[in-house]
Amino acid sequence: MSSISTNPAGSGARVIVGMSGGVDSSVAAALLKREGYAVEGLFMKNWEDDDGTEYCTALEDLADARRVCEALGIPLHLANFAAEYWDNVFEDFLTEYRASRTPNPDVLCNREIKFKQFVAYAERLGAEFIATGHYARSSTDAEGYHVLKGLDDNKDQTYFLQAVPAAQLSKCLFPLGNWQKADVRAEAEALGLHNHARKDSTGICFIGERRFRDFLARYIKDEPGPMVDQEGRRLGTHRGLHHYTIGQRQGLELGGLRGRAEQPWYVLNKRPADNTLIVTQDETQLLSCWLRADEPNWLREVTLPLSCHAKIRYRQKDQACTVSAAADGRLLVRFDVPQRAITEGQYVAFYSGDEMLGGGRIQQTELSLQQNPT
């Protein structure tokens, strides 16, 4: 098993690894050191609670990162990017929710913090490369730089890298790209690292163990409004449009309606103009054949129209599609097979085989089987 997909710098190159305190970044640092790189760690603090409570476990994560770096015999730098995170990730997060869309802060965090602020900080420290524990691979050939899926299908994280410019990604090493997660844990245990069995982090850091609804209430006021079916018949009252996402089934509290089948209800649409939530029991209404996306980021040169595959959410199987330039200047993506619950504010990533070509932010769709958007 190869520990590093490419070794562009050779032995002795200085690389700074983003250390989260988790097992993936820990093993990434160990593998790079084994390869002969001059390895240092960097712990990034990206969030500070104004109530003084560390919901996102930053203090525990820092303690774990320090223990790992001590065990590996490498220095650990500390950087506070909380202000940059607030301005470039969190403000966008709030803007999207206020507009009744569903954002993906993890994609923005990679673009704005991990592969922008981190790269700049590492360069000021004299590093030639950065490295992370992402399950992704990269290569460079006569055609340029390529980002490839990690070999562990269950852990491939290229979807979250889609918005990062190629110039930034090309400065990063991905030591875990050829590894399976189980082997990474086994390697950490063999190295005697205390965090070899630590659970993977899930959810959004700044929310932590809090209920999502309680967190949003600190920044966005609830505005209850009508919950209706497709014919406009009122079924109940929603808590506020920002609490719901397209395709959502849980939390609608619509069971036992007189004259209605005992079948699940799903969020079909949100209508901010009159603060109305539209729901349906017909799950086929959640299907759509197309989307429009803006903020395109291509990792290599492509020619449109382009036949490729796409993901509209993490861990989705690749879906065949055609990408073309829409009349409004956005990307128009047509799928060969209708997709469920395409969600405005999320991201679509494009692939050709194992190579990720780039992506864009979903801005428009139509939850129907309409085949010919203009």
- CA 361-202-68 angle, to 5 degrees, is 115
Residues 223-244: what's their mean pLDDT? 95
| pLDDT surpassing 60 at residue 245 | yes
Of the pLDDT bands very low, low, confident and very high (cuts 50, 70, 90), residue 34 is very high
What pLDDT is recorded for position 358?
98
DSSP one-letter string for 82-110: HHHHIIIIIHHHHHHHHTT----HHHHHI
Residues 274-292: what's their mean pLDDT? 95
Is the CB of residue 133 less than 8 Å from the CB of residue 20?
Answer: yes
Higher-scoring residue by pLDDT: 253, 248: 248
What pLDDT is recorded for position 10?
52
Q: Tens digit of pLDDT for each residue in 255-270? A: 767 767 778 999 999 9
Residues 347-373: what's their mean pLDDT? 85
Q: Tens digit of pLDDT for each residue in 322-357? A: 999 988 889 999 999 999 999 999 999 999 999 999
The question of whether 109 is a catalytic residue gets the answer yes
For the record, the structure tokens of 69 come out as 């770096």
- Full set of structural domains in the chain with CATH: 14-190 (3.40.50.620), 221-281 (2.30.30.280), 285-365 (2.40.30.10)
Instruction: Choose among 206, 208, 164, 152: nearest CA to 27.
Output: 152
| pLDDT surpassing 80 at residue 5 | no
Considering 172, 205, 308, 321, which one is annotated as catalytic?
205
Q: Tens digit of pLDDT for each residue in 41-95? A: 999 999 886 554 555 678 889 999 999 999 999 999 999 999 999 999 999 999 9
| pLDDT surpassing 50 at residue 369 | no
Q: Give the separation between CA 267 and CA 291, rounded to whole angstroms.
A: 18
Q: Tens digit of pLDDT for each residue in 112-148? A: 999 999 999 999 999 999 999 999 999 999 889 999 9
| pLDDT surpassing 80 at residue 311 | yes
Residues 187-207: what's their mean pLDDT? 87
Q: Bridge-partner residues for 18, per DSSP?
A: 42
Considering 56, 69, 109, 308, which one is annotated as catalytic?
109
Is the CB of residue 31 less than 8 Å from the CB of residue 145?
Answer: no
Euclidean distance between the first and final Cα of the chain, in Å?
49
The question of whether 205 is a catalytic residue gets the answer yes
Is the CB of residue 354 less than 8 Å from the CB of residue 139?
Answer: no
